[in-house]
Amino acid sequence: MPTSLIPAPRGVVAGTGETRLTEASRLYAGAGTEGVGRWLGGVLRAATGLLWREAREPAQARDGVRLSLAADLGPEAYRLVSDPAGVLVEGGDAAGVLYGAQTLRQLLGADAFRRAPVRRDRVWTVPHLTVEDAPRFRWRGLMLDVARHFMPKEGVLRYLDLMSAHKLNVLHLHLTDDQGWRVEIKRYPRLTETGSWRARTKIGHRASPLWDDRPHGGFYTQDDLREIVAYAAERHICVVPEIDVPGHSQAAIAAYPELGNSDVVDTAALTVWDTWGINPNVLAPTEDTLRFYEGVLEELLELFPAHAGPFSPFVHIGGDECVKDQWRESRTAREQIARLGLADEDALQSWFIGHFDRWLAERGRRLIGWDEILQGGLAPGAAVSSWRGYAGGVTAARAGHDVVMCPEQQVYLDHRQDAGPDEPVPIGYVRTLEDVYRFDPVPAELTPEERERVLGTQANVWTEVMEDQGRVDYQTFPRLAALAEVAWSELPAPADRDFPGFERRMTEHYRRLDALGVAYRPPGGPRPWQRRPGVLGRPIDGPPPAL
């Protein structure tokens, strides 16, 4: 059983015998671990049907489970000991205790991930062993694009549980784009009244002739987002919101046409975009636009407090794929360039991003954006999501900026998993489970000091061709399990990694995913109902370039 743990722990020492958990077993949560105790008691009661009474003293939890903090362990590290005295989970902090508790669930077997017991006569045992573990990276993330296809609140909460089960700790929530605005902003109600839904949706790649003529939409109320943030915090996950500017903004312009370049196009005629690709309709680079988005961010900061975890001060502002054709044609934009003494439209975007860099810093926050924000320079506290390959991350690290490595060619999970004809809506390069497992977030050319700038990594799930939860599951799993191991475990160099051993451990992990109700891609290929025959994709042949 211990050999099936995912992500792989740093060290496991097997013992002899096992701890049997019964109706008499109790759960003790020491000082600082009470929240983990409430969570663990809830999931264990649901899955096992055992009572799991609370113990007030460690001795009362003999033959049960004890949770405590340990001064000799670092942040997020844990030690799990199963021996004749029961199960002890110690952590350097509450997050470490939680990760140890997730390992305990894996040791109990796949049925420990169910919401109700499937066999009342089941005997629950934990093998005698010691697990010593700690993460490689601090930032271990998943980006969910809820703008292209809206994921209801219950789906986001479900993904937080799935992330926690894989020891991931950052949810990057892509809340706005051309195709939808998903966060309630009370001072600007039309952002959701108009911007949160579109009349129809392109099916497949933008060149596809197919349309879904049903309106699509949805948004999170402010209380929904407070609930998501609190639910995440209970699982020691930080939620990093993204408001994409100055590109990818047609939904906002459809709601408030004055935000667009109205001296170039009839922005009042724009609707929420119903297809995919890079959109030419970008925000007007004016002081009025800045004031509008300051109002958006003021409400956003209240919803995503800076004290909710180590990465909760971050706010993502996008900054990618801003087509500047309208700025070149706009008299207003040209006058702004002259007024500010800027060189060109690229410098104008740098001014736009730099404004919010300073604005957030004044409020104790940190800006993070896609690697295009490097153009024109960044303030010292800003960080970069390196998506166009490794190069942006290398440049950022060498300039003294923190980096999250998420190169499209490696960890964009909307890319297809196989070259076979049955793969649903094939997008991009083939990125197999093994490809993700052999990804390394740290480029070899970085010096030891520059490597310290790599906060970690995340997988990005863009949902243009993922119309529902099942499609998101299919693209995300099982590859997210491989990314979780890359982010958590101390692995050899990519070529030396034991992928056959990982596949063997995945055999048991598929049973856990089954228990969790995850509609993953089976190793042998898509099930009949997971295919999308006749829907045009955008496959790219050959291996991805090393950028």
Task: Provide the terminal-to-terminal Cα distance of the chain, rounded to the nearest Å.
Answer: 40
* Residue 256 to residue 195: CA distance in whole angstroms: 9
Cα-to-chain-centroid distance, residue 464? 16
Active site residue 216: no
* Among 173, 133, 139, CA closest to 441: 139
* Residue 238 to residue 236: CA distance in whole angstroms: 7
Active site residue 321: yes
Contacts (Cβ under 8 Å, ≥6 apart) of 140: 167, 168, 169, 170, 456, 457, 458, 484, 487, 488
Which one from 299, 321, 346, 440 is the annotated catalytic residue? 321
Q: Are strands 176-177 and 180-181 parallel, antiparallel or unpaired?
A: antiparallel
Phi, psi (deg, nearest 5) at residue 544: -70, 150
| Contact predicate 421/103, CB 8 Å | no
37 to 13, 78, 215: CA distances (angstroms):
25, 15, 43
* Residue 217 to residue 219: CA distance in whole angstroms: 7
Which one from 166, 172, 248, 415 is the annotated catalytic residue? 248
Active site residue 248: yes
* Residue where the block lists tokens 């003999």: 62
Torsion 39-119-509-411 (CA) sign: negative
Give the other-Cβ count within 10 Å of 147's Cβ: 26
* Residue 334 to residue 169: CA distance in whole angstroms: 43
> Six-digit token pair at 302?
């209240």
Contacts (Cβ under 8 Å, ≥6 apart) of 539: 416, 419, 426, 427, 428
Which one from 90, 133, 145, 177 is the annotated catalytic residue? 177
Torsion 69-74-80-83 (CA) sign: negative
| Contact predicate 466/212, CB 8 Å | no
* Residue 253 to residue 273: CA distance in whole angstroms: 10
Where do the DSSP E strands lie in 441-509? 454-461
Burial class (CB in 10 A: 0-12, 13-18, 19+), 261: buried
* Residue 68 to residue 178: CA distance in whole angstroms: 47
Angle, CA of 69, 73 and 75, to the nearest 5°: 85
* Among 258, 28, 311, 277, CA closest to 143: 311
Q: Which residues are catalytic?
A: 177, 248, 321
